[in-house]
């Protein structure tokens, strides 16, 4: 299975999103897989670290998931895109942004599963 995205975690570890629908946490020095995160039903297209213990992943299943790096638990699901999620990026300590094949970008509050802002393709082109 191919790797579709990579995120630096802290210099000691890094995250990968894969075509096998998983995210993996790796040891940078040894190359050992430390943990595998299961929960997406399609390719993981993007991963982004939020802080020292959490990260988000976007997927071809149209969802974004918030994960606890230590326990491996999925803490929250973000739904709202109509097509595959292409990218996720941390904006600040409270929000992140996602992009999708549905030609939208969304601003999300990390602490809720509600999209704060929805930007359509024509808004992006005009802006």
Residue length of the chain:
127
Q: What is the pTM of this model?
A: 0.90
b (16+ CB within 10 A) / e for 83-104 = ebbbebebeeeeebbbbbebeb
State pLDDT tens for residues 29-53. Answer: 999 999 999 999 999 999 999 998 9
Coil/strand/helix, residue 68: strand
How far are the Cα atoms of 7, 29, 37, 55, 94 from residue 34, in angstroms, in the given order? 15, 12, 10, 15, 27
State pLDDT tens for residues 60-94. Answer: 999 999 999 999 999 999 999 999 999 999 999 99
């Amino acid at each position: 299975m191919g790797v579709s995205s990579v995120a630096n975690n802290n210099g000691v570890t890094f995250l990968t999103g894969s075509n096998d629908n998983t995210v993996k946490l790796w040891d940078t020095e040894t190359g050992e897989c430390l943990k595998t995160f299961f929960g997406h039903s399609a390719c993981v297209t993007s991963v982004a670290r939020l802080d020292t213990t959490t990260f988000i992943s976007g997927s071809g299943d149209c969802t974004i998931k918030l994960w606890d790096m230590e326990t491996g638990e999925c803490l929250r699901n973000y739904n709202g895109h109509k097509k595959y999620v292409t990218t996720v990026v941390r904006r600040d300590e409270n929000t992140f942004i996602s992009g999708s094949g549905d030609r939208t970008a969304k601003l999300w509050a990390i602490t809720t599963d509600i999209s704060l802002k929805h930007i359509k393709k024509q808004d992006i082109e005009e802006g």
